[in-house]
Amino acid sequence: MLYNLMATSPLGLEAVVAREIKDLGYETQSVENGRIFFQADALGIARCNLWLRAADRVFLVMGQFEARTFDELFEGVKALPWSDLLPRDCRFPVEGRSVKSQLASVPACQGIVKKAIVASLQQTYDQEWFTETGDEYAVEVSLQKDQATITIDTSGAGLHKRGYRTHTGLAPIKETMAAALVLLSRWHPHRPFADPLCGTGTIAIEAAMIAGRVAPGLRRDFASEAFPWIGPKPFNEAREEAFDLRYKTAQPDFHIQASDIDSRAVRMAQMHADGAGVSHMIDFSVSDIQAFVPQAPYGCIVTNPPYGERLDDRDTVRVVETALGHILQDHPTWSLFVLTSSQYLERHIGRSADKNRKLYNARIECKLYQYLGPLPPRRGS
């Protein structure tokens, strides 16, 4: 059976997630702001939860319809086949959001959706009260320009929660964003990779997981494993596939450099890499960025430096960004990808980026500045 699904992503990363879904073998139907719609079977739900690196969550789409009034919202939700999916004892909390819609009160919309689901279940189960003591089916109502999208969360905890990161630094980057930066760089394991401002190691670890084909969700559980109409079987099959693929495509001679001036952060990064099962793929060191020396040509730096939002950080930001410029100048075969909200990066580096892309790191508007070095020559040429 095919299900209508929706993967969500931070704004600006929709194309990245859509490409991931396609690489898993599923065609996307449409792409909107932060939402990618597609179809897949139960095994596809498991695979997407297990493998999507840049997505926030995967939702089952119950229905979409126009809702300009509370009556339209109530009747639209009530008409959906809730008893096909929700057991009589399940918990079904309702979250909501509203963007540019007449129904602007999110709490009111959540209440209406809850009542409509109860009314629908009452017709099937012939009971007035639902104890909600069983497994959780998290429902979401999203209103965008008066179009209601009603979904059930198949992921549970956000997909950025890989399970390996137990400690965070002062300004942690989400695992999903870190993976997206690596994917946007189009880096491949036959090239060197470095993050000379690695902090607690997230970007380097995500790069290693990509290189080793380590499924990001391999070490965690998902809400839909408890859904009777999905169950553990597809997830067990997807996990077996993922275990068989680990480390099979990593180049034997490739290396990832990860360094930071903060020795405590580097210790945490090493622990996180151990937890992710990729510590053997990363060379960690305590080092100032001004001392960074690439180990080989034609490499790729992907980094998320401090932004300088506090006055006492601005001198540090200038030094760091200038050092990145020196690395580019001294190593012209290298490419550089920098995610920052700093307005002076190009000035400090000494030249304009070849490309930039607006992204949001948490709620901070940033740009991914892309300095594109030459590709390595083909082997044998």
Q: Which residues contact 200 (CB under 8 A, 6 or more apart)?
A: 165, 167, 168, 169, 172, 265, 268, 269, 272
Higher pLDDT, 125 or 85: 85
pTM of the model: 0.93
Alpha-carbon gap, residue 336 to 197, rounded angstroms: 13
- 338, containing H or E segment: strand 335-340
- How is residue 57 written in tokens? 């969550």
DSSP structure class, residue 91: B
> Measuring CA to CA, how many Å separate 228 from each of 90, 225, 233?
11, 8, 10
Fold of 3-153: VC0802-like (3.30.2130)
- Report pLDDT digits (tens) over 322-339: 999 999 999 999 999 999
Mean pLDDT value of segment 114-122 = 95
Q: Using pLDDT thresholds of 50, 70 and 90, give the confidence band for residue 311.
A: very low
Rg (CA), the chain: 23
Q: Lowest mean pLDDT: which of 97-111, 130-144, 245-259, 358-372? A: 245-259
**Bridge partners, 369 (sequence order):** 338, 356
**Would you list the domain boundaries of the chain?**
3-153, 175-212+251-371
pLDDT at residue 351 is higher than 50? yes
| pLDDT for 11 | 92
Fold of 175-212+251-371: Rossmann fold (3.40.50)
Strand, helix or coil for residue 5: strand
For the chain, what is the mean pLDDT? Answer: 93
pLDDT at residue 173 is higher than 70? yes
